[in-house]
Structure 1
Amino acid sequence: MSFNQEFDDHGAWRRQFALRLKLLSEWLTDHDLMEAGVNERLDQLHAQVKNDKIMVAFVAEFSRGKSELINAVFFAGYGRRIMPASAGRTTMCPTELGYDAEVPPCLRLLPIETRLQPKSLLDWRNAPNKWERVDLDVNDPQQLARAIQKVAEVRRVSKSEAAALGFWNEELPDDNPLVGPDGLIEVPKWRHALINMAHPLLKQGLVILDTPGLNAIGAEPELTVSLLPQAHAVVFILAADTGVTKSDLTIWRQHLAVQGQGQESRLVVLNKIDTMWDALSSPEQVQLQIASQRTDSADILGLSPKQVLAVSAQKGLLAKVSGDDKLLEASNLMELESALGVDLLGQRRRILSAAVASGIQALRQETGRLVHIRARDLVEQIQELDGLRGKNAGVIKQMRLRIEQEQADFDASGAKIHAVRSVHLRLLKNLFALLGSTHLKAEVSELSRALKQPGIKLGVRRAYGHTFDRLRADLARADTLAAEIQSMLEGSFKGLNAEYGFSLQPPSPPQLAHYARDLVAIEKSHLQYLSLGNALRLAQPEFAERLTRALMSRLRVVYDTAMNEVELWNKSASAQLDTQLRERRRNFVRRIEAVSRIQQAAGGLDGRIRELQSHQTELNLLDAKLAELTDHLLSVPEEDPAEAVAV
């Protein structure tokens, strides 16, 4: 199955899930089960699936056919090239292709001069007025291709300006671009490009990251320490006839090589195998040469041979456009698409499904607990009313007085419940402080100062180590504090359950320790800049400033995600207490109303008991329906989901 087909299936699964979630939400609202905690959980699940993005990054040195490969895999349906793929340098700035329904089809370009200002790329994303915008007509392939050609635009600047922008360093002559006869240097006109278009794959959550070559990659630390490490798959393109060159190996070692679990997310493509189709060699000899290049490349890069594929992007694009199945098979393009589809999407679906399943189980427990509370209250009312059979009016009046006294005592107990909330909020305040942006800035301040010192930064590796040790210690303290809060909640809820007959159960605590793995990944992605080979680049104040901003942007994402998890946990616990307080108050009102009706009508007792028994049956049906709907969410079957919501 091709990548496009696999992605279509993934998109269909996400749409089915979103539809079933919407139907469950409506059903919960219709049956008065949409409590605050449940609503929060639904919103999180909806956002998790709706906003799920799959980023595939394409990385290569110049002239490896990277943009042509993107055209062949994703844009052959246009019948022509969309990404610029002519000879020489084409993609001069990192280019993201994605889809946002709230933004019209357009190309947005961030001027290269923004590198001179103290803002991260993330900050610039939130300042749309600073980007140059070009509207796109997605139904006109020629206009689309013409507009996107702008990502290849360059400027010619002086050496001093090139140095300020990060493209020239007198201490690293091998990395410097060529100087023209006029003494000027060619640099990209744009720092970053965002293409928003309603391509079917992009609409389903695919994000394609097209990166420039080695010099531009190294000059933009936010790309290498943030965007590339967060990509779900990286396709590294080499030339089939040369294999792994020195510059290819530099890119791989400094920016792409990973160990352990992350290694399966790397695919290497030996492109342009058509250059090896030699009329003087037999097809068997050509295949042996290609197989030898695959094996050698895998050995050099430390990968499994199955992760190195040999294709011809140009012939694959031509074959798709012309409908030549034989040429398409010879290009091996479908083998690459299959690897992307099976490995990347299969892995992503498993991760998303596991996260979603956990959320659905929590949703099921919270809603099921509410149904259980109502069922228990009904049993108590039926037993209470059943005990009135054959009793005189005086006994019934006494029961009413007793219920009213219970209600008054319960209302007077608000101070105890308020005390539980106060202790909970005080501990939470400390936890939020540990994960807040102010504390994060303070923890990174030592490293920031070390990076901004002029000249060679001899102690910066030690500063990195100390900073990340402190950050990991912060997360460990936050995890311990969360465990203390969980223990407090368990004790408090147990006491309230015993005293008031509640059925409070603390939600699962946030798992903050696993964010330490994110810190390790961030630290590793930065270590590439602390090597002796990068010491001179790091000595440049402008580069060190960009590296600091990139670090803060990435750390902020981790801490914000951890904070969101804590907030959801807090809201789930608070909402559960609010729900049971409200249900208990409603129960008092219903019990008093029932006794009043019995006092007013001689035959009201039996009628009220039958009415409560009827509500019992309805609640049992609700519980069964809830299980059915949540099971459907976990399975997302192929049939029309509307069939599953008839109540």
Structure 2
Amino acid sequence: MPRDSSTKRVFKIQDRAMTVSIERQSFNQRFDLYGQWRVEFAKELQVFSDWLEGKGLRNDSTMERLARLQEKTLEDKLTVAFVAEFSRGKSEMINALFFSSYGRRIMPASAGRTTMCPTELAWDGSHAPSVRLLPIETRKLSASVADWKLKTASWYSIPLNALSGDSVAAAVERVTETIEVDIAQAKQLGFWVDDSEDNPPLNEAGLLEVPKWRHAIINFPHPLLKKGMVILDTPGLNAIGAEPELTISLLPQAHAVLFILGADTGVTRSDLRIWQELLNPHVDATGMRLVVLNKIDTLWDSLTSKEEHQAEIRKQRQSTAQILDIPLNQVIAISAQKALVAKISKDEALLRDSSVRQLESVLVDTLLGQRHQLLNRALLSGLEELRTDAQQLLTVRLRDLTEQIQELSNLQGKNSAARRSIRLRIARERKEFDHSVNKILGLRAAQNKLLNQGFQQLGSKAVKSELNVLLKGLQGKILTFGLQKLFFETFDRLTGLLHATQTIADQMHQLSIDAFAGLNTEFGFSLQPPEPLNLALYVQDLEKIAQSNKGQFSVNNALRFTSNEFNERLIASLAMRLRPVFEAVANELELWSKSSSAQLDVQLKERRHSFLSRSDTIERIEKAEIDLSERLQELNGHVDALAQLSAQLTERTQHLEASLNAMLRILDDGKSAPVAAELGS
């Protein structure tokens, strides 16, 4: 049976998990296991979908739900962002955590060579392994990086050999490239603001060095990247501040942000600015925020004991936590450089001293565990909805069969007049059924009208119109309290669009309640009104976006608002951040409407089938083609088959739930309690 083979796959994954001691598994190993499970579970969903189809239990609504569950399972990305000022060892940390298996550095981390532009490491099978680079000149246009991703011809592509660490590293080296521009060009590109103390230095020719590339995408089939991990490597404060999309969209939506400091420098002024202006406003964002105190090896020397080293590290952690106003267990001290050396040379003692396993354990226990719990809840909820939809269909079939059995039972011992009476009743019911179809068509017309109104409220034109008002208020002005007020007024109007959509959803729901009640009473349907659509969480999302980005309109950004190019990039970034919220609301509204209509479609189809079956049975009985008692026996057999089908439905959905919970237990069982206790000390 399909259940047996799928169960074997679940246990195969479990066995694989136990081949390496759970407490010794690295983040890479556990994420690889998690990726395997997602692929296997997506296959199980397909088996379930095919089974529903084979049993006639799959309709448009269930197909939509299954497609979404499969997409959620397979496309569940895990984004880990690394943020730091220059020379904090950020790229070395990425090498140590993820790419030591290459036996060399992949990300540029040598002296004087560092990542100059935001860099994404991911895998997209529709592109060949490569490094794709977006020229810095695209900043002169208002389009966001996300928009440019759709214009592949605008990127400079460098092919790489994914089997060669040297080839990968050589291609990645291109992200360190810079160009020299004059002040006028630097203003357009966002790297120079008049009267700012943070402008980069000019050389003897009056030029300044800026990144050659605006954004880089490193696309290669590393096992972690193939299973859904996305690594975001960001440059220093000036480059981050000049690219609003990073602070408005990419960083807030990362599932984990690692803010790297240097144990040799402590929290510098620019470090504090990054934390307070760019990261701290997003503490309520989904995911986790960790501070990593790197380069603890600079505190090692032969004149102090190991205990004194540990005491100094604890002091550094406490000081960092106090300055950043965060819990102590959010500050982890490691040596990325020693960790990389230890992994490549297989030096277990040095690996322990580097403390990188503590960071890996936190990433596994907290990040991966939380991510799976979110996916687990979404999938369990989706499975329950699928089971409910299929069970409702079985209930409708059972009701029709029961009515047919009762109808035929009443014919036993009766004459032809009784059969004629049943034929007349069936004809009358079919006529009533035709009237019900007209009412259903009227309901659908009304629902579709409201649905289209909702789509208009949520469309990109409506959002763009509101943001254009904000853009006009920003153009060419220095920040004032009036502009921040304009920002919040914009979000008030955007929130108003969601409230208007909620009103439309409530109207659609009430329309369904009234129509379903009428159809049930007048025509004998058994329709259940769907649960009302609640958009409160999306309203909260807008509020979080507004509060976390009000800092963009603080006095620290005042000088940037004199640049129209910056303003346009800022508004484009806000549009990108808002787009998924409004698209999600539109998708929820559409799915709700489909689910509501699916009940009607199912019961209409089943009722048509029932009329045909009843009419055919009466006709064949009259022609003596079938025996009444044999037909009753056949129908009772169908009832038994429905009971078995219902039991199989329960068994299959319970099996899928067991698969979900099995992976959850694996992740929970692997938590490293000693590490967690140490971090809290």
Q: TM-score normalized by structure 2?
A: 0.91
The CA deviation at 1:108 is: 0.9
Q: CA deviation at 1:263?
A: 8.9
Alpha-carbon separation, structure 1, partners of 2:147 and 2:281: 28
Aligned residue in 1 for 2:57: 33
Output the CA distance in 1 between the equivalents of 2:201 and 2:296. 30
Q: Distance in 1 between matches of 2:84 and 2:662?
A: 43
Hey, what does 2:203 align to over in structure 1? 180
Q: Are 2:62 and 2:386, in contact at CA under 8 Å, matched by a contact in 1?
A: yes
Match of 2:290, SS state, is strand
The question of 1:426 aligning with 2:446 is answered: no
- Structure 2 SS opposite 1:636: helix
User: Shift of residue 177 of structure 1?
Assistant: 1.1
Equivalent residue number for residue 74 of structure 1: 98
Kindly indicate whether the alpha-carbon contact (under 8 Å) linking 1:255 and 1:525 is maintained by their aligned counterparts in 2. no
Give 3-state SS (helix, strand or coil) of 1:254's partner. helix
Q: Residue 611 in 1 paired to residue 634 in 2? A: yes
Indicate yes or no: 2:185 matched with 1:158. Answer: no
Deviates more, 1:623-632 or 1:424-433: 424-433
For residues 490-521 of structure 1, the C-alpha deviation after alignment (integer angstroms, 9 at most, x for no partner) is 22112212222222223333331111222122
Q: CA deviation at 1:349?
A: 1.1
Q: Does structure 1 residue 87 correspond to structure 2 residue 119?
A: no
1:274 and 2:297 correspond:
yes
What's the CA shift string for 1:172-199, capped at 9, x where partnerless?
0x21112122222111011011111111
Shift of 1:553: 1.4
Q: After the TM superposition, which of the residue ranges 55-64 and 423-432 deviates more from structure 2?
A: 423-432
324-333 vs 421-430, greater mean Cα deviation: 421-430
Cα displacement (A) at 1:408: 2.5
Superposed displacement of residue 9, structure 1? 3.2
2-structure distance, mates of 1:472, 1:55: 28
CA contact (8 A) 1:454 1:541 kept: no
Matched, 1:297 2:317: no
In structure 1, distance between residues paired with 2:617 and 2:435: 23
Where does structure 2 lack aligned partners over 5 or more consecutive residues?
1-22, 664-681
The one-letter code sitting in structure 1 at the alignment partner of 2:155 is W
Deviation at 1:259, TM superposition (A): 6.9
Q: 2:559 maps to which residue?
A: 536
Contact 1:62–1:88 (Cα < 8 Å) also in 2: no
Q: CA deviation at 1:31?
A: 0.9
Of 488, 498, 502 in structure 1, the residue corresponding to residue 525 of structure 2 is: 502
Determine if the alignment matches structure 1 residue 580 to structure 2 residue 621. Answer: no
Counterpart secondary structure, 1:503: coil
Aligned to 1:448: 471
1:308-319 to structure 2, matched below 5 A, reads 308-319=331-342
SS of residue in 2 equivalent to 1:413: helix
Q: Which residue of 2 aligns with 1:118?
A: 142
| Offset of residue 552 of structure 1 | 1.2
Aligned to 2:511: 488
609-618 or 260-269: bigger deviation: 260-269
- For the Cα contact (< 8 Å) 2:475–2:561, is it kept in 1? no
Contact 2:296 2:313 in 1 (8 A): yes
| Distance across 1 between alignment mates of 2:430 and 2:362 | 65
CA contact (8 A) 1:67 1:85 kept: yes
Aligned residue in 2 for 1:16: 40
Structure 2 equivalent of residue 644 of structure 1: none
8 Å Cα contact 1:137/1:143 also seen in 2: yes
Identity, in percent, stands at: 49
Q: Aligned-pair distance for 1:394?
A: 2.8
For the residues of structure 2 that align with 1:508 and 1:478, how far apart are their CA atoms? Answer: 16
Moved more, 463-472 or 416-425: 416-425
Match of 2:278 in 1: 255
- Report which stretch shifted further, 99-108 or 342-351: 99-108
Given residue 336 of structure 2, which amino acid in structure 1 is its aligned partner?
Answer: A
Partner amino acid for 1:62? F
CA contact (8 A) 2:244 2:570 kept: yes
Q: 1:52 to 1:508 in 2, by over 3 A?
A: farther
Relative distance call for 1:271 and 1:260 in structure 2 (3 A) is closer
Query: Which residue of 404, 416, 427 maps to 1:393?
Result: 416
Structure 1 residue 456 displacement after superposition: 4.7
Within 2, Cα distance between the matches of 1:218 and 1:381? 72
Alpha-carbon distance between aligned partners in 2 of 1:449 and 1:474, rounded to the nearest angstrom? 20
CA–CA distance in structure 1, aligned partners of residues 467 and 199 of structure 2: 31
Q: Secondary structure at the match of 1:459?
A: helix
For 1:643, the equivalent position in structure 2 comes to none
Secondary structure at the residue paired with 1:167?
A: coil
- Contact map agreement 1:105 1:138 (CA 8 A) in 2: yes
Corresponding residue SS for 2:251: helix
Measured in 1, the distance between the counterparts of 2:660 and 2:487 equals 49
TM-score, scaled relative to structure 1? 0.96
Change (3 A) 1:89 1:142: closer
Deviation at 1:571? 1.1
Superposed displacement of residue 127, structure 1: 0.7
1:127/1:33 CA distance change after superposition, 3 Å: same
C-alpha separation in 2, matches of 1:334 and 1:264: 20
Structure 1 residues 350-372: Cα deviation after superposition (integer angstroms, max 9, x where no partner)? 11111122111111111111111
Would the alpha carbon gap of residues 394 and 440 (structure 1) be closer, same or farther in structure 2, given more than 3 Å must change? Answer: same
Deviation at 1:574, TM superposition (A): 1.4
Q: Greater shift after overlay, 388-397 or 619-628? A: 388-397
Give the 3 Å change call, closer, same or farther, for CA 215–639 of structure 1 in structure 2: closer
2:458 to 422, 431, 435: 435
Mapped to 1, the partners of 2:229 and 2:491 lie a distance apart of 32
Aligned 8 A contact 1:3 1:337 in 2: yes
| Alignment-derived partner of residue 126 in structure 2 | 102
Q: CA RMSD in A?
A: 1.8
Alpha-carbon spacing, 1:503–1:453, altered in 2? closer, same or farther (3 Å): farther
Question: What secondary structure is seen at the aligned counterpart in 1 of 2:252?
Answer: helix
Distance (whole Å) between structure 1 residues aligned to residue 480 and residue 156 of structure 2:
36
Matched, 1:43 2:67: yes
Counterpart Cα distance in 1 of 2:492 and 2:455: 20
Hey, what's the Cα distance between the residues in 1 that align with 2:618 and 2:326? 77
Task: Supply the distance in 2 between the matched residues of 1:507 and 1:632 (Cα, whole angstroms).
Answer: 26
- Distance in 2 (CA, whole Å) between partners of 1:152 and 1:572 is 51
Q: Could you tell me which residue of structure 1 aligns to residue 86 of structure 2? A: 62
1:455, 1:331 → 2: CA distance?
Answer: 47
Deviations 1:517-546 (A, max 9, x none): 221222133212211121011222111111
Q: Which moved more, 1:33-42 or 1:504-513?
A: 504-513
Question: Which range moved further: 420-429 or 150-159?
Answer: 420-429
SS in 2 for 1:175: coil
Give the corresponding residue for 1:383: 406
Q: Distance in 2 between matches of 1:405 and 1:26?
A: 38
Tell whether the 8 Å contact from 1:20 to 1:633 is kept in structure 2 after alignment: yes
Is the CA contact 2:283–2:289 (under 8 Å) kept in the aligned structure 1? no
1:322 corresponds to which residue?
Answer: 345
CA distance in 2, matches of 1:136, 1:502: 62
Displacement, 1:208? Answer: 0.5
User: Which residue of structure 1 lines up, in the alignment, with residue 679 of structure 2?
Assistant: none
Stretch deviating more after TM superposition (66-75 or 615-624): 615-624
Equivalent position amino acid for 1:82 in 2: I
Q: Please state how far the C-alpha of 1:603 moved relative to its aligned partner.
A: 5.2
Shift of 1:5: 2.8
Q: In the alignment, which residue of structure 1 is the partner of 2:671?
A: none
* Residue 127 of structure 1 pairs with residue 151 of structure 2: yes
User: Residue 619 of structure 2 corresponds to which residue in structure 1?
Assistant: 596
> C-alpha offsets along residues 364-403 of structure 1, whole Å, 9 cap, x if unaligned?
1111111111111111111111111111223213312321
Give the aligned length: 639
CA distance in 2, matches of 1:261, 1:244: 23
> Against the structure 1 CA distance between its residues 59 and 259, is the aligned structure 2 distance closer, same or farther, given a 3 Å change threshold?
closer
